[in-house]
Amino acid sequence: MRSVPTTSLDLTAAEFVADPYPFFAEERARHEVAWHEASGMYLTFSHATVSTVQRTRTLGRLWKDKEPTDYLEPFNLLHRNQMMENEPPEHTRLRRPVASAFARGHVERLRPRVRELAHQLLDEVAGQDFDLIEAYAEPLPVLVIAELLGVPASYAHSLRDWSQAIVRMYEPAPSQPVVDAAVAAATDFAGLVRELLTERRARPADDLMSDLAVTELSEDEQVAAVVLLLNAGHEASVNVFGNGAVGMLRRGLRPGADVALTVEEMLRFDSALQLFERTATEPVTVGDVLVEPGQKIAALLGAANRDPAVFDRPDELDVDRDPNPHLAFGVGVHFCLGAPLARMELVESVGALFDRYPGLTLAGEPESRGTFVLRGFRRVPVTAQGG
């Protein structure tokens, strides 16, 4: 019987978190899939195996409440009832009304508003050095997703704080302060959403929350859907923007003539979401490894997006790269529902920034968030020239 490849990769090591890509390359050269004892799951390192994990229906998202369950119920409630943590037919039931609401034209009607917000934010920092994350990358998508759903802009800072507290729970071995902050954020976040849903049932508006408030979903499911949309609707955009901007500025690059191609390369080059976990419901072969029912396997998206078997010069940031079959938004039933919104926001905001400040440069070393699963920067100081 063939032995299973293993890896001792430390997903929490500072050197790895700072730059996981050389480690991925070393692992990929040895094996496409390997058992990782520390996390109790298989890790996948190639584009082919990550794609298999994402596409295989017998590798599912199977939510298990975090323990202690009583204390963590506010956090568990938001995840137990959301589409991303369920498989068909439950996933289909939870996703359909949200997808239907998105399909009503809400996203495209926001394009002029995204442009307006981008220019307003850039006006506020005209002639100044500023933090690209705090002043631009962060507020824009938070305000956009809040407007799409119908959350008052006055809650923008709270939404960002709550989201960051919740998503830190996705990192390996969260500390007790991280757990406590996530429970508090989940409690406050759900409380606000319940109030807003009650208002929308009484007084509907032209927003996505009004659409969701009258669906067949239970109130807990509606709350979970809104929180998921608010979190996913800006977390990826903030981090893709920050990671991609830092990648370009460090290399003296600017967006290409087709900004949409540059955005796709930003998504590929330094993936905002690095790890997405699945559980086998039946025996399934991934690469050369047989994954047994109940065993977990993780798609390492950043590793897939640097695979030299698929991407020429994978460690170079090519603003005109085409084709670009990255896996940043996933594939299959869990393909990111908000991908069209994220792409639109990024094209508009990246284009506006470099049109206004073609001489933009780093004014200091960017400060990492220090997280792996959701990779991004806390602070990116820049010097704005022009504008």
> Which residues are catalytic, by number?
232, 235, 237, 336, 345
- pTM, two decimal places: 0.92
Report how far residue 225's alpha carbon sits from residue 80's, in angstroms, rounded to the nearest whole number: 11
Alpha helices (runs of H) in the chain, residue ranges in sequence order: 14-18, 21-30, 47-55, 73-80, 90-101, 107-109, 111-124, 132, 139-149, 156-167, 176-202, 208-213, 219-250, 259-269, 301-304, 339-356
Banded model confidence at residue 372, pLDDT cuts 50, 70, 90: very high
Report how far residue 315's alpha carbon sits from residue 322's, in angstroms, rounded to the nearest whole number: 15
Banded model confidence at residue 87, pLDDT cuts 50, 70, 90: confident
Check the CA dihedral 253-256-259-261 and report its sign: negative
All residues at 6 or more sequence positions from 38 whose CB lies less than 8 Å from its CB, including other chains:
8, 10, 11, 172
Tell me how far CA of residue 134 lies from CA of 105, 158, 294, 297, in angstroms: 29, 14, 42, 35
Banded model confidence at residue 145, pLDDT cuts 50, 70, 90: confident
Q: What angle do CA 360, 306, 55 make, to 5 degrees?
A: 120
All residues at 6 or more sequence positions from 15 whose CB lies less than 8 Å from its CB, including other chains:
none
One-letter identity of residue 131:
D
Q: Classify 319 as helix, strand or coil.
A: coil
Mean pLDDT of the chain: 92
Banded model confidence at residue 32, pLDDT cuts 50, 70, 90: very high
Specify the range with the lowest mean pLDDT, choosing from 228-232, 331-335, 377-381. Answer: 331-335
DSSP 140-174: HHHHHHHHHHT--GGGHHHHHHHHHHHHGGGSSS-
Specify the range with the lowest mean pLDDT, choosing from 24-38, 79-93, 118-132, 235-249. Answer: 79-93
DSSP H or E stretch at residue 381: strand 381-383
280-301 pLDDT per residue, tens = 999 999 999 999 999 999 999 9
Report how far residue 225's alpha carbon sits from residue 81's, in angstroms, rounded to the nearest whole number: 8
185-226 pLDDT per residue, tens = 999 999 999 999 999 999 999 888 998 899 899 999 999 998
Question: How far from the centroid of its chain's Cα atoms is residue 246's Cα?
Answer: 17
Whether pLDDT at 387 is above 70: no
Q: Classify 289 as helix, strand or coil.
A: strand
pLDDT at 71: 96
All residues at 6 or more sequence positions from 92 whose CB lies less than 8 Å from its CB, including other chains:
333
Q: Per the structure block, which two tokens stand in for 351? A: 């284009």
All residues at 6 or more sequence positions from 187 whose CB lies less than 8 Å from its CB, including other chains:
74
- 6 pairs with which residues across the strands? 35
Decide: 226 and 193 in contact? Cβ < 8 Å: yes
| pLDDT more than 90, % of the chain | 75
Report how far residue 70's alpha carbon sits from residue 293's, in angstroms, rounded to the nearest whole number: 28
pLDDT at 1: 40
302-343 pLDDT per residue, tens = 999 999 999 999 999 999 999 999 999 988 777 788 888 899
Specify the range with the lowest mean pLDDT, choosing from 29-38, 157-166, 268-277. Answer: 157-166
